[in-house]
Structure 1
Amino acid sequence: MQIQFLGTGAGMPSKERNTSALALKLLEERGTVWLFDCGEATQHQILHTSIRPRKIEKIFITHLHGDHIFGLPGLLSSRSFLGGEDTLTLYGPKGLKEWIEFSFELSNTHITYPIEFVEIQEGVIFEDEQFIVTAMELEHVIQCFGFRIEQKPLPGELLVEKARELGVPKGPLLGKLKNGQDITLEDGEIILSKEVTSPPKKGFIVTILGDTRLCDNSKLLSRQADIVVHEATFDHSTSQHAANYGHSTNIEAAQIAKEAGAHYLLLNHISARFLPADIQKLVLDAKETFPDLYLVKDFDQFSWKNNELIQEI
């Protein structure tokens, strides 16, 4: 799994930061990409990455502010021209479906693939054999959601030598054992999968929060998460200003990660008021509360390997 940031700014684009969007790359897990928010010019940002729009399987929208959705109509349209044929599922608050369909109607835009709209309600919004995604409402000036993406436990590794010692021949029986199925040998002996496989491996947990002031649901979504993506629009000196506008500070984001028992924190959605020279102070101040954090910039990419977050250079 990889996370790549396509836009890390707040409110409007700047020379350093585009508006909100990030990609959760699940290429090894399911051969697809999940996009979270789609601010203006997101498809332009994608041109500078290895992401293929036809690989985007799901788009999750936290809320309907323009800096989180104004790139959607263009990206959805371009996906048709770029070979997208598979269904794309679009998750978002009430009103998103109406806005997209109205935009397509007025602009005479025709999509060549199916779009499935899911209006977000609190609770589980997606589940299959690999992942479960939970949404909870945050505290912003309009309805806004955060998402908790949990990878289900992975099968343990097959202990081939142990299986061979028990008389399991090469071939499909080994595959069945690896997939958790018990088997019966020709002589009638039953071999249990758990006897020849290591224990299941814990999957990763990623929490991606929309715009929010300090709130309990941020902490609940972040509980024991491996990675938390949290906005840090303001700094500690403007905490009251942040709360008035439904946003958080760098210190408040660090506080959420600490109290939730998260492992890593990625600070995102940075106001243009902070110049490059200010960034180091934002990081150092937040690290006093939660040391394992990064303040991200556009195109930063992180990989999750062996239960560690690795920033790619």
Structure 2
Amino acid sequence: MQITFLGTSSGVPTRGRNVSSVAVRLPQRAEVWLLDCGEATQHQLLRSDVKISQISKIFVTHMHGDHIFGLPGLLASCGMAGNVSHIDIYGPTGLGEYLDACLRYSETRLSYSIKVHRVKAGIVCEDAEFYMVAAPLKHKVTAHGYRLVERDRAGKFDVDKAIAMNIPPGPIFGELKQGKIVTLPDGRKIDGKQFCGAPQIGRKIAYCTDTIFCDSSVELAQNADVLIHESTFAHQDADMAFQRLHSTSTMAAQVAQLANVKQLIMTHFSPRYSPGNPILLEDLVNEARSIFANTIPAHDFMTYEIAPTNG
């Protein structure tokens, strides 16, 4: 499972950082799920190795422009990619009307179908391999964080052991791979679990932006492999964070610590911490690491790989 950061600034783009968007490539299938779509996300995609044609789902946290202004343009470009047949879009009330207006007044006609789903707390979509959960965050407008979960997979099937026990290949192997107890034609009862290695534990990503510290962020991130959390302000600017309902670096670290995540990736940085200012991005990172050591800052086009693990 691979995470690519397409935009890591808050509010407005800078010379080095675009506004919010994160692409997640799903393992073992040519599919990308996009988290937020700030202005110029399609340009960022062109500069990355993420294929626009593989985007199948887009999840929007809230209706502020730095998270949605890139959506109409990206949808128009997806239609020109050639092999896009359908995209599901998930977000708050008003997202469908916004897209309808943008496409209608620009006279943009998509060559594929889209469906806009209004997000509520709980599971917002699922299939046999993955599911996405949403939870409310605490911001000036309705906002949701997301938790992407890969379902656990059965361990590797020991074919050689099965053959050595004179078990006939075919449909029986399929049942044994699922860990079922199978009765063979000769009357033997075989427990499939003895042929399967340790299960592969599904990977988990939590995405929390925009929000001030809240309990639902901790619940959403519980035991995640990676928590992507906004860190708009430095701890010294906590008053500003409370006024604008954004997180400080230390709030993000506290969520990571309380949720027992493996890795915190900070993003959504205010441009005020650029070189030449009294507080720098490095200061925010050090503040977070003083609470949660496994912390790294995101930058545009940074790719982070989550390797599979066995139970």
Corresponding residue SS for 1:58: strand
Match of 2:194 in 1: 195
Contact 1:53 1:84 in 2 (8 A): no
Q: Per-residue displacement from partner, 1:156-207 (whole Å, max 9, x unpaired)?
A: 1112232123212455543442244554434233333212112422101110
Match of 2:160 in 1: 161
Normalising to structure 2: TM-score of the pair? 0.94
Contact 1:223 1:262 in 2 (8 A): yes
Displacement of 1:86 after TM fit?
Answer: 2.3
Matches of 2:54 and 2:45, distance apart in 1: 12
- The answer on 1:272 being equivalent to 2:271 is yes
Match of 1:258 in 2: 257
Q: Where do residues 219-298 of structure 1 align in structure 2 (5 Å cutoff)?
A: 219-276=218-275, 278-298=280-300
Normalising to structure 1: TM-score of the pair? 0.93
Q: Where do residues 99-110 of structure 1 align in structure 2 (5 Å cutoff)?
A: 99-110=98-109
Corresponding residue SS for 1:100: helix
Check 1:276–1:297 CA distance in 2 against 1; reply closer, same or farther (3 A cut). Answer: farther
Corresponding residue SS for 2:200: coil
Corresponding residue SS for 1:118: strand
Corresponding residue SS for 1:164: helix
Corresponding residue SS for 1:162: helix
Match of 2:47 in 1: 48
Identity %: 39
Displacement of 1:125 after TM fit?
Answer: 0.7
Matches of 2:209 and 2:283, distance apart in 1: 23
- The answer on 1:88 being equivalent to 2:87 is yes
Q: Per-residue displacement from partner, 1:43-97 (whole Å, max 9, x unpaired)?
A: 0000111211121010000000000000000000110111133221000000000
Matches of 1:256 and 1:85, distance apart in 2: 37
Matches of 2:268 and 2:7, distance apart in 1: 8
Contact 1:84 1:113 in 2 (8 A): no
Displacement of 1:23 after TM fit?
Answer: 0.2
Displacement of 1:149 after TM fit?
Answer: 1.1
Contact 2:200 2:309 in 1 (8 A): no
Match of 2:304 in 1: 302
Unaligned runs of 5+ in 1: 309-313
Displacement of 1:297 after TM fit?
Answer: 0.5
Match of 2:77 in 1: 78
Matches of 1:307 and 1:234, distance apart in 2: 34
Q: Per-residue displacement from partner, 1:207-228 (whole Å, max 9, x unpaired)?
A: 0112001111111101111110
Matches of 1:137 and 1:162, distance apart in 2: 49
Match of 2:139 in 1: 140
What amino acid does structure 2 have at the position aligned with 1:21?
S
Matches of 2:100 and 2:43, distance apart in 1: 22
Matches of 2:275 and 2:201, distance apart in 1: 38
Q: Per-residue displacement from partner, 1:95-114 (whole Å, max 9, x unpaired)?
A: 00011011111111111111
Corresponding residue SS for 1:47: helix
Matches of 2:11 and 2:189, distance apart in 1: 62
Match of 1:311 in 2: none
What amino acid does structure 1 have at the position aligned with 2:98?
W
Match of 2:22 in 1: 22
Matches of 2:250 and 2:282, distance apart in 1: 14
Displacement of 1:282 after TM fit?
Answer: 1.6
Unaligned runs of 5+ in 2: none
Matches of 1:200 and 1:116, distance apart in 2: 35
Match of 2:11 in 1: 11
Match of 1:57 in 2: 56
